[in-house]
């Protein structure tokens, strides 16, 4: 942890790491072997302990029952929780629920907050976010076909979505759908609408298998069809046509959450790599760590993790001080850089473990499967590199669209 970390935050991080190592880590083998559903009773008990400790919803303001941490403070917490695949869920700050909480706090009506936000904050239900469509490039968030047409006091939603994360077992979805298809600006055509998953016409087609694993619960991604799915217009979030703006508000801080979670994964993978390097012998008295190639991987990993952390914390400071718009370039920088560091560190750790690394006897293969998408979701690497290049080239008189 940075030496300048405030004493109270340092104590919190120490306490969280102890809790994760002693109480949560013993469940990780069962998560890999039996799945999320098999350990729900134990997870429920641990969630109650998190509440008793006052750690619940660290990213949410105290007004709404959370810890009230700033984005910068939560970045440190997110890194600590990222050491375990169960960390964020146990503290009720897992995606996509964390982002949906923020949307409902900022844009929900009192009735929407009472019906959807409050049970979400209490951890009684889960939610999902339904934007990406299989027929259109996910890197173009204004290009979609799902529509929400007015009929009396209702919206009737028709469309096809996939990579709706966490839909398995979710109580409601926040859906991006076209409500103003003829608007002059493509950024004012879509709205965000709350759709309870028990609404007639909400069809959960399947959990999409990712790298050979379907996942379940909040660790899954689903394909959804909306077939004449009718909800009241009072389920609209914010202004009609404001869906893209709300999504951008959500995704900026969310990318910081993700990046710091990835750094937590990197730290755990790095520890596993170093431990393996000093205990696995190539010959009597000659551990892997005596080889220069292994030493290079360790040096490169430590340097890249440190650099990624500093970049992300700097972006979080900017958002806290000046808002998300001021940090737009920084957020794109951390998104592709931290995702690349995550992939490289995991790959090196697997290589150091040899055959063991590709088995499911460690967390490495689990993370390699689940986190390869880091370079794709919330904007692929190529889009974020374009954003950075565009901003850097402006002073030279080149305007990229």
Q: Tell me the per-residue pLDDT of 226-265, one tens digit each, with 9 for 90 and over.
A: 999 999 999 999 999 999 999 988 888 899 999 999 999 9
pLDDT tens profile 307-330:
999 999 999 999 999 998 899 999
User: 127-130 and 172-178 as β-strands: parallel, antiparallel, unpaired?
Assistant: parallel
For 4, residues 6+ apart whose C-beta sits below 8 A from its C-beta are none
Q: Other CB atoms closer than 10 Å to residue 65's CB: what's the count?
A: 15
Same domain, 59 and 161: no
In a domain, 140, yes or no: yes
In a domain, 242, yes or no: no
Mapped onto helix, strand or coil, the DSSP state of residue 168 is: coil
Cα-trace Rg, the chain = 22
Q: Which of 59-73, 114-128, 129-143, 377-391 has the lowest mean pLDDT?
A: 129-143
Domain count, the chain: 3
Same domain, 261 and 386: yes
Residue 18 φ/ψ region, left for φ over 0, alpha for ψ in the -120 to 50 degree band, beta for the rest:
alpha
Same domain, 277 and 154: no
Q: Give the CATH number for residue 233.
A: 2.40.110.10
- The conformation of residue 65, written as its DSSP 8-state character, comes to T
Same domain, 174 and 278: no
Whole-angstrom distance, CA of residue 388 vs CA of residue 401: 12
In a domain, 1, yes or no: no
Whole-angstrom distance, CA of residue 285 vs CA of residue 255: 45
Report pTM.
Answer: 0.94
Same domain, 264 and 350: yes
From 77, 108, 139, the end of a domain falls on: 108
Domain span holding position 207: 127-237
Q: Give the CATH number for residue 33.
A: 1.10.540.10
Alpha helices, DSSP H only, in 130-282? 243-279
In a domain, 121, yes or no: no
Same domain, 102 and 134: no
Same domain, 61 and 157: no
CA nearest neighbour of 192 among 268, 286, 96, 69: 96
Contact 349, 274 (CB under 8 A): no
What is the structure's pLDDT at 275? 98
In a domain, 122, yes or no: no
Q: Scan for tokens 């088995």, then name that residue.
A: 359
Same domain, 180 and 269: no
pLDDT tens profile 349-360:
999 999 999 999
Same domain, 26 and 59: yes
Same domain, 268 and 375: yes
């Amino acid at each position: 942890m940075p030496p300048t970390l405030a004493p109270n935050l340092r104590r919190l991080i120490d306490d969280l790491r102890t809790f994760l190592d002693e109480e949560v880590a013993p469940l990780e083998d069962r998560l890999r072997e039996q799945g999320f559903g098999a350990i729900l009773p134990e997870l429920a008990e641990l969630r109650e302990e998190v509440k008793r400790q006052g750690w619940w919803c660290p990213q949410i303001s105290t007004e709404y029952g959370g810890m009230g941490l700033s984005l910068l403070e939560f970045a440190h917490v997110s890194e600590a929780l990222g050491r375990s695949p169960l960390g964020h869920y146990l503290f009720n700050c897992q995606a996509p629920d964390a982002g949906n909480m923020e949307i409902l706090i900022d844009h929900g009506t009192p009735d929407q907050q009472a019906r959807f936000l409050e049970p979400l904050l209490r951890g009684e239900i889960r939610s999902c976010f339904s934007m990406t469509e299989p027929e259109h490039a996910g890197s173009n968030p204004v290009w979609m076909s799902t529509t929400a047409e007015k009929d009396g006091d209702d919206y009737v939603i028709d469309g096809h979505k996939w990579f709706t994360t966490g839909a398995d077992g979710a109580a409601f979805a926040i859906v991006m759908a076209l409500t103003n298809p003829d608007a002059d600006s493509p950024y004012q055509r879509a709205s965000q609408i709350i759709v309870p998953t028990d609404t007639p016409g909400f069809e959960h087609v399947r959990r999409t298998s990712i790298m050979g694993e379907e996942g379940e619960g909040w660790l899954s991604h689903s394909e959804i069809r909306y077939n004449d799915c009718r909800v009241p217009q009072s389920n609209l979030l914010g202004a009609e046509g404001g869906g893209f703006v709300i999504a951008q508000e959500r995704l900026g801080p969310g990318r910081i959450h993700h990046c710091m979670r990835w750094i937590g994964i990197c730290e755990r993978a790095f520890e596993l790599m170093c431990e393996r390097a000093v205990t696995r012998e190539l010959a009597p008295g000659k551990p892997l760590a005596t080889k220069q190639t292994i030493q290079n991987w360790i040096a490169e990993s430590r340097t890249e993790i440190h650099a990624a952390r500093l970049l992300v914390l700097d972006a979080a400071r900017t958002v806290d001080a000046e808002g998300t718009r001021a940090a737009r370039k920084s957020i794109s920088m951390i998104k592709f850089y931290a995702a690349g560091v995550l992939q490289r560190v995991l790959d090196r750790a697997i290589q150091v473990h040899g055959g063991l690394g590709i088995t499911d006897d460690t967390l490495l293969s689990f993370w390699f499967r689940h986190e390869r998408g880091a370079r794709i979701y919330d904007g692929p690497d190529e889009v974020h590199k374009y954003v950075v290049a565009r901003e850097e080239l402006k002073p030279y008189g080149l305007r990229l669209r």
